[in-house]
């Protein structure tokens, strides 16, 4: 069972200095997330969901406790190892898409593969496959500024998925989208989760996203409040 | 990956074209200003050289010892022979004989009685030789106010202010009352050919300029000259150039026992000019340094802003898994490329402007016309290109731009990754 775990946290605590005092964002979180799950961290602003997502994404480190992601202890990783984990195993989807505006859709999706040093032929095939998953093969040569918000977010999904990562972290991925586009995006991610068995972990308080989740992890004031598995 | 970064750089004009223009303009200004200031400072010294000191000056030892009194009785005899020897010994220099003299200028009325009188300082220079450089040396053509440059024996130029004071016009006769080389009284008639204005109080107050053969005649100084001035053909004085000339002269001509033996003084050894040469050098350095620092701050800031503006992009690249060190080095390589290209372009444009200003100059005579000051100002301001102008732009252009980027890039390391990520989301 442990071997199938993508994320394991034990008494995970994160404190941030605030002047002379400290603010505790996470208070002893114990969590296990298995391979292929479609889960979400749910809670109001300040509940600690983004902090937890950052630690799981090796963008931050725990103050106390343990965070194992793909069998790697986040607290013990140096910058190079953390970058390697993100490069090889993790995909990120942001609220505001964060595409490189001067590059085409193809180049945006291609970027993670460049870091992984795939050959040109491999890259081309993998990028076109990823664009096919999100239905954007015809937009490959366009720039992000020529796309709608929903299309931009689909490009971001393709960029996160192109290297077929073990875990995709999505922070409020539908916050800037209307209902129709939100559902479209969520259906795309749900499909990829089912077809590629990629684990998805969301941070959200959007009811539309919550509706799609197979597992709902509620956070409140930095603590695990409720964990519902459907 | 390199192709990806180059594509991004070329497509994002605010990341490539804009900083390139800023760097090029900054470097162009730095290079041009340096050339301009250098030219201005050098021109001020060269003006003194042309009017008074030469780049080097040869006199008799006795004349040199009493130079303040303009002791023409201690002049060089057989001056044309010595001049020829100097021309042979120093083919890279041009030499001119001069006689400086003092005297009284008397303007007679129709009855031959004194109408007006004034004391004058005089220059006996070569006005009539076919290839004379003295008209250009003293900038007579451009300084001419009325009349013409003398082209016949016994014609003179008076300073305009002096002629007005004496109420004498071109074509009228004046009499020089002075002393001969042998202490006798010299009275000699000249015709005023024209008047000149130098824009310098000391010269405009009372100057008379005549051909040296006329002055030799008037002061009974056959083939004598008070001073022989030497000029480098480059047109510019330098201590480095003057030192070997002086050393060779001392070896060839020096005779410490003969008080009439010729001696040579460099420009810096005359009339306290050494202080001005040093001041000019340091002034040029100080102004250049100030300008360099100012431009460096501007370009540093441009590099800094360029780096800060890209925090969003950096956040994305970090999240996708690019190493901070790789991002940092790619930013530095980018700014280095922009800095070097911008510097080359800016240096090229700056040197072009400097060259134009060095070749054609900026004629400010219309602004200075009618103005008189204590400072001898050139009528044409020229820039001067020196070897440092070819590389000085790299300090603000390449180094400061890269330093600015490096400084802004340090933020990548100082900030926690999550913080960069947060900034990305902001």
Question: What are the distances in angstroms from CA B364 to CA A7, B144, B160, B199, B368?
Answer: 79, 15, 19, 12, 6
| pLDDT tens digits, B95-107 | 999 999 999 999 9
Q: Judge: A100–B313 Cβ closer than 8 Å, yes or no.
A: yes
| pLDDT tens digits, B19-29 | 889 889 988 98
Q: Are A67 and A9 in contact (CB under 8 A)?
A: yes
DSSP letter string over A183-220?
Answer: HHHHHHHHHHHHHH--EEEEEE--HHHHHH-SEEEEEE
Mean pLDDT in residue range B137-157: 92
| pLDDT tens digits, B291-328 | 777 777 777 777 777 777 777 788 888 888 888 888 88
DSSP β-bridge partners for residue B212: none
Mean pLDDT in residue range B269-286: 77
Name the residue among B419, B405, B422 with its Cα closest to residue B22.
B405
Q: Judge: B321–A86 Cβ closer than 8 Å, yes or no.
A: yes
What is the per-residue pLDDT for A19?
80
- Relative to beta strand A215-220, strand A199-204 is unpaired
- In degrees, to the nearest 5, what angle opens at C-alpha A24 toward C-alphas A23 and A26? 150
pTM of the predicted structure, to 2 decimals:
0.70
Q: Judge: A103–B4 Cβ closer than 8 Å, yes or no.
A: yes
Residues contacting B344, CB < 8 A, separation 6+: none
pLDDT category, A1, cuts 50, 70, 90?
very low
Mean pLDDT in residue range A177-197: 87
What is the per-residue pLDDT for A61?
92
Residue B197 has pLDDT above 70, yes or no: yes
Residue B2 has pLDDT above 90, yes or no: no
What is the per-residue pLDDT for B297?
79
| pLDDT tens digits, A104-158 | 999 999 999 999 999 999 999 999 999 998 889 999 999 999 999 889 988 999 9
Report domain extents, chain B: 2-46+276-425, 56-234
- Relative to beta strand B155-159, strand B185-196 is parallel
Tell me the domains of chain A and their CATH numbers: 35-59+77-229 (3.40.50.300)
Distance CA A126, CA A106 (A): 10
Tokens describing residue B218: 């008037």
Arithmetic mean of pLDDT over chain B: 85
Arithmetic mean of pLDDT over chain A: 91
What is the per-residue pLDDT for B356?
94
The mean-pLDDT minimum among A105-119, B245-259, B358-372 falls in: B358-372
Distance CA B403, CA B29 (A): 20
Residue A13 has pLDDT above 90, yes or no: yes
| pLDDT tens digits, B16-56 | 888 889 889 988 988 898 888 888 877 888 888 888 889 99
Mean pLDDT in residue range A73-89: 92
DSSP β-bridge partners for residue B363: B380
Tokens describing residue B143: 């300084």
| pLDDT tens digits, A17-74 | 888 888 899 999 999 999 999 999 999 988 999 899 999 999 889 999 999 999 999 9
Distance CA B44, CA B375 (A): 9
What is the per-residue pLDDT for A168?
94
Distance CA A72, CA A66 (A): 10
pLDDT category, B365, cuts 50, 70, 90?
low
Residue A217 has pLDDT above 60, yes or no: yes
Residue B88 has pLDDT above 50, yes or no: yes
- Relative to beta strand B93-108, strand B227-232 is antiparallel
Mean pLDDT in residue range B259-285: 82
What is the per-residue pLDDT for B425?
52
* CA distance, residue B313 to nearest chain A CA (Å): 7
pLDDT category, A90, cuts 50, 70, 90?
very high
What is the per-residue pLDDT for B366?
66
Task: Kindly list the residues from chain A whose CB atom is less than 8 angstroms away from the CB atom of residue B312.
Answer: 98
Q: Judge: A171–B425 Cβ closer than 8 Å, yes or no.
A: yes
B250–chain A Cβ distance below 8 A for any pair = no
* CA distance, residue B414 to nearest chain A CA (Å): 12
Name the residue among A213, A206, A154, A204 with its Cα closest to residue A179.
A206
What is the per-residue pLDDT for B155?
96
Task: Kindly list the residues from chain A whose CB atom is less than 8 angstroms away from the CB atom of residue B319.
Answer: 57, 59, 86, 92, 94, 98
Distance CA B320, CA A68 (A): 19
Side-chain-facing half-sphere of A71: CA atoms under 13 Å: 6
* CA distance, residue B381 to nearest chain A CA (Å): 48
Place of tokens 């799981």: A56
Task: Kindly list the residues from chain A whose CB atom is less than 8 angstroms away from the CB atom of residue B11.
Answer: 102-103
Residue B281 has pLDDT above 50, yes or no: yes
Q: Judge: B321–A87 Cβ closer than 8 Å, yes or no.
A: yes
Of the partner residues B8, B315, B323, the one whose CB lies closest to the CB of residue A103 = B8
Q: Judge: A79–B1 Cβ closer than 8 Å, yes or no.
A: no
What is the per-residue pLDDT for A109?
95
Q: Judge: A115–B7 Cβ closer than 8 Å, yes or no.
A: no
Q: Judge: A94–B425 Cβ closer than 8 Å, yes or no.
A: yes
What is the per-residue pLDDT for A127?
95
């Amino acid at each position: 069972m442990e071997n199938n775990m993508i994320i394991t946290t034990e008494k995970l605590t994160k404190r941030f200095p605030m002047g002379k005092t400290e603010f505790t964002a996470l208070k002893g979180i114990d969590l296990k997330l298995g391979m292929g799950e479609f889960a979400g961290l749910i809670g109001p602003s300040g509940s600690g969901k983004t902090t937890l997502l950052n630690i799981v994404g090796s963008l931050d480190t725990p103050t106390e406790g343990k965070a194992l992601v793909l069998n790697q202890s986040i607290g013990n990783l140096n910058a190079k190892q953390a970058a390697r984990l993100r490069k090889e195993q993790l995909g990120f989807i942001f609220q505001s898409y964060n595409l490189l505006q001067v590059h085409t859709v193809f180049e945006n999706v291609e970027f993670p593969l460049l870091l992984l040093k795939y050959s040109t032929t491999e890259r081309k095939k993998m990028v076109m496959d990823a664009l096919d998953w999100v239905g954007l093969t015809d937009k490959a040569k366009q720039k992000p500024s020529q796309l709608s918000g929903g299309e931009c977010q689909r490009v971001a999904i393709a960029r996160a998925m192109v290297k077929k990562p073990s875990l995709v972290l999505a922070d409020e991925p539908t916050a800037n989208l209307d209902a129709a586009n939100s559902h479209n995006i969520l259906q795309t991610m749900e499909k990829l989760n089912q077809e590629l068995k990629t684990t998805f972990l969301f941070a959200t308080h959007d009811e539309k996203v919550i509706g799609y989740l197979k597992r709902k992890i509620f956070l409140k004031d930095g603590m695990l409040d409720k964990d519902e598995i459907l | 990956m390199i192709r990806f970064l180059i594509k991004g750089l070329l497509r994002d004009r605010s990341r490539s074209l804009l900083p390139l223009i800023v760097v090029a303009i900054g470097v162009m200004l730095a290079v041009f200003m340096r050339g301009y200031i250098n030219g201005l400072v050098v021109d001020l010294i060269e003006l003194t050289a042309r009017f008074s000191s030469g780049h080097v000056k040869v006199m008799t030892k006795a004349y040199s010892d009493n130079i303040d009194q303009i002791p023409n009785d201690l002049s060089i005899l057989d001056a044309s022979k010595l001049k020829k020897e100097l021309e042979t010994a120093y083919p890279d220099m041009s030499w001119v004989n001069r006689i400086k003299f003092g005297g009284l200028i008397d303007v007679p009325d129709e009855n031959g009685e004194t109408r007006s009188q004034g004391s004058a300082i005089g220059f006996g220079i070569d006005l009539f030789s076919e290839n004379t450089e003295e008209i250009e040396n003293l900038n007579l053509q451009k300084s001419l106010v009325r009349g013409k440059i003398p082209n016949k024996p016994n014609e003179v130029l008076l300073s305009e202010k002096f002629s007005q004071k004496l109420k004498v016009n071109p074509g009228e006769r004046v009499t020089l009352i002075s002393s001969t080389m042998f202490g006798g009284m010299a009275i000699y008639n000249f015709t005023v050919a024209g008047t000149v204005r130098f824009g310098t109080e000391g010269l405009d107050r009372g100057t008379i300029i005549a051909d040296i053969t006329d002055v030799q005649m008037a002061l009974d100084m056959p083939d004598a000259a008070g001073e022989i001035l030497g000029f480098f053909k480059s047109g510019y004085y330098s201590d480095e150039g003057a030192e070997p000339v002086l050393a060779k002269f001392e070896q060839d001509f020096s005779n410490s026992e003969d008080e009439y033996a010729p001696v040579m003084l460099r420009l810096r050894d005359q009339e306290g000019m050494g202080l001005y040469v040093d001041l000019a050098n340091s002034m040029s350095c100080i102004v250049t340094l100030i300008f360099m620092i100012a431009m460096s701050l501007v370009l540093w800031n441009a590099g800094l802003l360029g780096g800060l503006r890209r925090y969003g992009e950096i956040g994305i690249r970090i999240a996708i898994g690019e190493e901070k060190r790789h991002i940092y080095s790619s930013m530095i390589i980018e700014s280095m490329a922009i800095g070097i290209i911008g510097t080359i372009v800016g240096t090229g444009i700056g040197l072009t402007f400097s060259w134009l200003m060095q070749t054609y100059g900026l004629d400010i005579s219309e602004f200075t016309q009618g103005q008189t000051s204590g400072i001898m100002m050139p009528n044409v301001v020229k820039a001067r290109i020196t070897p440092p102008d070819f590389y000085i732009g790299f300090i603000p252009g390449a180094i400061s731009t890269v330093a600015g980027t490096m400084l802004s890039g340090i933020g990548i390391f100082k900030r926690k990754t999550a913080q960069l990520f947060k900034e990305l989301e902001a």
